[in-house]
Chains A and B, each alone.
Chain A
Amino acid sequence: AQSVTQLDSHVSVSEGTPVLLRCNYSSSYSPSLFWYVQHPNKGLQLLLKYTSAATLVKGINGFEAEFKKSETSFHLTKPSAHMSDAAEYFCVVSDQNDYKLSFGAGTTVTVRA
């Protein structure tokens, strides 16, 4: 069975400083990995996805994530936080044995002016 652990339930950063959101996954087979963002009272929007191509994945709004199989990690980073990045972020895994999407518990990002 597949699963995801987001290591931080809440991250607070100052505007203009880097953001790091940590995600570890468990999967018996080659996984697909995704990061979604949810702004308050909104639906979910895809930030980026990994599906067995390049291990460093670039997404929208300056976010990127690196797939590290040896560490079973898929951490999300952004060099410089913006106020508009305040939202909840979800790491999601799916593998070839089970096409369902499994979500982490989410990380809430706060950006201080």
Chain B
Amino acid sequence: NAGVTQTPKFQVLKTGQSMTLQCAQDMNHNSMYWYRQDPGMGLRLIYYSASEGTTDKGEVPNGYNVSRLNKREFSLRLESAAPSQTSVYFCASSELAGIMNTEAFFGQGTRLTVV
């Protein structure tokens, strides 16, 4: 029962480097999300995908891009990493039940440090 799987778990980047965070879910959910978690700020939405083939910006999209490769996979790309992107990143997925959202399932997180 994998749920939501994120890779890698840890990463250190130099300023200006690029990388892609991978996320896959095996629950056949339509919606997927990328959040970042910083101390005292809760989780802030970077991008989300309500369904396969669609993506939308969240609260803090600058410096990031996403790809909804298929229903299972939703990747987050940092084109040119900056120290301000040092954070813990969480991927999540959920299914819509009628007009009401159901619970989201979260991955274990990726701890990213940009030096």
B70-115 residues with Cβ-Cβ distance < 8 A to A are 90, 92, 94, 96-97, 99-104, 106-109
Interface SS of chain B: strand
Q: Which residues of A contact B27 (CB under 8 A)?
A: none
Is the Cβ of B58 less than 8 Å from the Cβ of A32?
no
Q: What is the distance, in angstroms, from B52's C-beta to the closest C-beta of chain A?
A: 15
Residue positions of A touching B, CB distance < 8 A: 6, 9, 30, 32, 34, 36, 42-44, 46, 49, 51-52, 90, 92, 94, 96, 99-106
A-B contact pairs, 13 of them (CB 8 A): A32-B100, A32-B101, A36-B106, A96-B99, A96-B100, A99-B50, A100-B45, A100-B58, A101-B33, A101-B101, A103-B35, A103-B42, A105-B42
Residue positions of B touching A, CB distance < 8 A: 31, 33, 35, 40-45, 48, 50, 58, 90, 92, 94, 96-97, 99-104, 106-109
